[in-house]
Amino acid sequence: MSLFLSYLLPGIPYGCAYALMAVGLVLTYRASGVFNLAFGAQAFVSAVIFSIALHDGWPGWAAFVVAVLLASPALGLAMERLLFRYTRAAGPLVKLVPALGLLIAIPAVTQMLVGTATRLPSSLVLQPWKVYFHLASTPVSGEELSTTVITVAVVAAFALVLRSSGLGLRMRAVVESPRMAELSGVRADRTSAAAWVLSSLLAGLAGVLLAPMYSTVASSNFTALLVAAIAAAAIGSFASLPLTLVGAIGLGIAQQLLAGYLPSGTILSSGLRPAFPFVVLAIALVAGRSLRSAEVRDPLASCDPPVHAFRAPARMTEVAVGSRAFTTLAVGMLVATTLVLVPGNWEFVFTLGVVLSIIFLSITLLTGMGGQISLGQAAFAGAGAFTAGQLAMHSVPVLGAILLAGVLAAALGAVVALPALRLGGIAVGLLTLSFALLATNVLFLYPWAGNGATGLTVPRPTLGPISFAGNGAFFWLSLVFLVVLAGAVKLVQWGTTGQELAALRGSERGSAAIGIDVRRLRVVAFTVSAAIAGIGGALYASLQQSVSVNDFNYQFSLVYVVVVAAVGVYSVGGAIEAGVLYAVLMQLTSTLSSRFSSLLALVFAVVALTYVRHSEGVVAYAKAWVLDRAEQLTRHLQAPPLRSAGAPGMPAGSGTARAQDGHPASVRDRADHPEVGAGGVTAGRSESQDLHATPRSHG
């Protein structure tokens, strides 16, 4: 009994920290539809500020006020005002990418500001390691005591506010329907900003409370806290606060019990404790009420204009040809310089870029074409890499092993996709994230899989007499893989599967109504995407010649999504640009001091923040902008008096001046000029503007 208690009691403070953050997650999710993964970063920032302030001799209360009551809420308010209030009517990807970007960017910035020096966490009220009393002969430390008491008090106060205060009433109303709340005279935007401030306060508090439990203040610990909180929120179906609370504390306790009772020294005991929340998350997501059904639908949602899917504008022939020629030239030069001019390490960098492009291609297919979010692509890549490694160890030819790696990753993808079918949008992302965490914490550690931190060696392949051992030869091989796979993805995009995916992205109901098996199609997209990621991972392994679990850490999955989304998720070209850019930037930043080692992630994360405005990706946006200019110029050069006045077959609006809102003309035209679309067709009906209906009224 006392053994049981000695395992159980230390779990409670963990559970309390999870609970604080989980309550914040649920509150913001309900109030603004944003699943704010950046709370993990906010918790980290508060913990850092708190420990630095104490280190500098501040009194505890002052450090607490600045770290928890000021910094984190201010950060949350800034996020809501500057980013997330514009995403209310947007799709799940637009809500997710900025949050992911912040999750990566905020710790990176913090690290740059305060350096990487290890900082000892500091306790709040009581001495953290001092034992104040014994409970059934189990010592209770100050840390455990203060965390529990503070959490109970804060959560109780929170429940009271939500239940009976005016603010709580307004919040619950805004959660259900911001429009209807406005009709009742409630300022919905202020109320949802208040929800962000309160949730951020909870996240900051969780960070400060949790900090003393680890030996250093490291951002990864707070990401783990975040995922545990997500699992707790899933137990409460992302809606019920009491269930969330119970789930969180239960999680904390269960983790400690597992650590205590599982045989020590095994992978299960060391890996399952950190991976446990993900197992719970997966179960809760699959077995519980789905996120979609938990959402009470806003009866006034039809007031918002319909959300448009992204579509690349059609271009004038001259511009399209020029653009294609330019791209071909750029690619050709890149290939040529890689092989002839650049020093060896850059040869390696470009090869890495090609291999990463293949992995990123899997995101283009799944997210860009299929509209599904995966936060676990690195795990599929890892599965491919380790499969190739294991097969190579059993003397399977490496090229064959690379292809088989794709097959195994595909199978894994199908297994993950099946439970994801019931879920929509963000929930699929969370489920794949939990898979990725399980993979990096447990699966990849086994000798028969990734062999832990030691990893595996994967030789360079040979094909008959041809050896790809040299970097130049391997570059060619990777390029062939990329060309074949990118070509296949393009063909799929134009073929039945791609068109059905496009239809599904546009309207799930409409797709089912024309006879598309939506579930099958989703599984196919997941499977093919995982196969591509697996092949990319295997190539990566062969390029590096030795890989370990650290190469496929779950955090890479998050970075991958941010990178591809930032550059351009909707086109095959976007994946390749993202891969090459990422590899080159990685090489450039690797020479900087360790303090700036996160600069790379930071660059992409900051770019991702622009995602709220340019969901087609910044590079894709810039390209559209340049091509718009080029079209203008071309039209100007082509004898304007004769042809400029709306020549047939020319997009009549796209040559006009740049819009004030900063969108390229072709993008703006879609919204402002009905009938004159980016498809380049000029409608010959002026009376077509005369529509006579409320298009979305019910009846």
Partner 1 sequence: MTGARSDTTAQGDVRSLLELRGVEASYGPYRALFGVTFSVPEGSAVALVGSNGAGKSTVARVVSGLVRAKVGTIRFAGHDVTRWPAWRIARAGLAHAPEGRSVFASLTVEENLILAARALGGRPPSGALDRAFSTFGQLAARRHQLAGTLSGGEQRMLSLAKVLAVPQRLLVVDEASFGLSPAVVDEVFDTLRMIRATGTSLLVVEQHLDRVLSMSDRAVVLVRGRVAAEGTVADVEPAIERLLPAHPQWSA
Partner 2 sequence: MASALLQTAGLTKRFGRVAALSEVSLRFGAGETVGVIGPNGAGKTTLFDCILGVLQPDAGSVLFQGRRVDRLPVFRRSLLGIGRTFQRLELFSGMTPREHLLVTERARSGRGALWKDALGLGRPTPGEKRQAADLLDLVGLADVADAPVESLSLGRSRLVELARALVGPPKLLLCDEPSSGLDDAERATLVSVLGRLGHERDVAVVVVEHDLDLVGAVVGRLVVLDVGRVIADGPVEAVLADTVVRRAYLGVDR
Closest CA to 35 of 537, 428, 540: 428
How many helices and strands (H and E) does the chain possess? Answer: 29, 6
**DSSP string over 299-368:** TTGGGSPPPPPP-PPP--HHHHHHHHHHHHHHHHHHHHHHHHTS-HHHHHHHHHHHHHHHHHHHHIIIII
Q: Which stretch binds partner 1 (CB under 8 A): 162-170, 385-393, 414-422, 655-663?
A: 162-170
Nearer to partner 1, 509 or 692 (CB): 692
Closest CA to 198 of 77, 29, 33, 304: 77
Residue from 185, 265, 343, 699 binding partner 2 (CB under 8 A): 699
Closest CA to 666 of 685, 684, 649, 679: 679
Q: Which stretch binds partner 2 (CB under 8 A): 333-341, 489-497, 548-556, 635-643?
A: 489-497
Q: Which helix (H) or strand (E) holds 498?
A: helix 496-506
d(CA 653, CA 387): 53
Q: How far apart are the first and last CA of the chain?
A: 63
Task: Work out how close the CB of 181 gets to partner 1 at its nearest, in angstroms, rounded to a whole number.
Answer: 8
Residues 329-388 binding partner 2 (CB under 8 A) are: none
Residues 523-552 binding partner 2 (CB under 8 A) are: 524, 528
Give the list of residues 6+ apart from residue 266 with CB closer than 8 angstroms, or none: none
CB 560 within 8 A of CB 492: no
Closest CA to 88 of 177, 184, 1, 7: 177
Q: Examine residue 309 and tell whether it contacts partner 1 (CB under 8 A).
A: no
Residue from 170, 422, 522, 623 binding partner 1 (CB under 8 A): 170
Q: What's at 279, amino acid-wise?
A: V
How many Cα atoms are found within 13 Å in the side-chain-facing hemisphere of 15?
Answer: 24
Residue from 447, 495, 640, 646 binding partner 2 (CB under 8 A): 495
Residue from 59, 332, 510, 646 binding partner 2 (CB under 8 A): 510
Residue with tokens 């997650």: 25
Nearer to partner 2, 488 or 659 (CB): 488
Nearer to partner 2, 598 or 654 (CB): 654
Task: Work out how close the CB of 34 gets to partner 1 at its nearest, in angstroms, rounded to a whole number.
Answer: 19
Closest CA to 430 of 277, 532, 565: 277
CB 380 within 8 A of CB 362: yes
Cβ burial 673-687 (10 Å sphere, 16+ → b, else e): beebbbebebeeeee
Task: Work out how close the CB of 349 gets to partner 1 at its nearest, in angstroms, rounded to a whole number.
Answer: 45
Q: Which stretch binds partner 1 (CB under 8 A): 246-254, 304-312, 328-336, 504-512?
A: 304-312
Q: Examine residue 413 and tell whether it contacts partner 2 (CB under 8 A).
A: no
Q: Examine residue 684 and tell whether it contacts partner 2 (CB under 8 A).
A: yes
Q: Examine residue 311 and tell whether it contacts partner 2 (CB under 8 A).
A: yes
Task: Work out how close the CB of 192 gets to partner 2 at its nearest, in angstroms, rounded to a whole number.
Answer: 26
Nearer to partner 2, 264 or 496 (CB): 496
From partner 1, partner 2, none, interface partner of 173 (C-beta below 5 to 8 A by class): partner 1
From partner 2, partner 1, none, interface partner of 547 (C-beta below 5 to 8 A by class): none
Q: Examine residue 301 and tell whether it contacts partner 1 (CB under 8 A).
A: no
Q: Examine residue 675 and tell whether it contacts partner 2 (CB under 8 A).
A: yes
Task: Work out how close the CB of 196 gets to partner 1 at its nearest, in angstroms, rounded to a whole number.
Answer: 18
Residue from 59, 115, 242, 305 binding partner 1 (CB under 8 A): 305
Phi, psi angles (nearest 5°) of residue 123 = -90, 165
Q: Examine residue 496 and tell whether it contacts partner 2 (CB under 8 A).
A: yes
Structure tokens at 267: 């992978």
CB 357 within 8 A of CB 537: no
Nearer to partner 2, 36 or 511 (CB): 511
Residues 272-291 binding partner 1 (CB under 8 A) are: none
CB 579 within 8 A of CB 356: yes
Q: Examine residue 689 and tell whether it contacts partner 1 (CB under 8 A).
A: yes
Q: What's at 689, amino acid-wise?
A: Q
The distance of Cα 627 from the centroid of its chain, to the nearest Å, equals: 30
Nearer to partner 2, 157 or 683 (CB): 683
Task: Work out how close the CB of 70 gets to partner 1 at its nearest, in angstroms, rounded to a whole number.
Answer: 28
From partner 1, partner 2, none, interface partner of 170 (C-beta below 5 to 8 A by class): partner 1
Q: Which stretch binds partner 1 (CB under 8 A): 123-131, 178-186, 606-614, 650-658?
A: 178-186
Q: Examine residue 671 and tell whether it contacts partner 1 (CB under 8 A).
A: yes
β-strand 456-457 against 546-547: which pairing, if any? antiparallel
Residue from 300, 331, 418, 421 binding partner 1 (CB under 8 A): 300
**DSSP string over 207-218:** HHHHGGGSSS--
Size of the chain in residues: 699
**DSSP string over 664-692:** -HHHHHHHHSTTB-TT--B---GGGG---
Q: Examine residue 683 and tell whether it contacts partner 2 (CB under 8 A).
A: yes
Task: Work out how close the CB of 312 gets to partner 2 at its nearest, in angstroms, rounded to a whole number.
Answer: 10
Q: Which helix (H) or strand (E) holds 4?
A: helix 2-8
Q: Examine residue 94 and tell whether it contacts partner 2 (CB under 8 A).
A: no
DSSP-derived 3-state class of residue 139: strand
Residue from 364, 497, 553, 571 binding partner 2 (CB under 8 A): 497
Q: Examine residue 212 and tell whether it contacts partner 2 (CB under 8 A).
A: no
Q: Which residues bind partner 2 (CB under 8 A)?
A: 302, 306-311, 488, 491-492, 494-500, 502-503, 505-507, 509-518, 524, 528, 670, 673-681, 683-685, 687-693, 695-696, 698-699
Q: Which residues bind partner 1 (CB under 8 A)?
A: 166, 169-170, 172-173, 175-177, 179-188, 296, 299-300, 302-303, 305-306, 308, 671, 674, 689-699
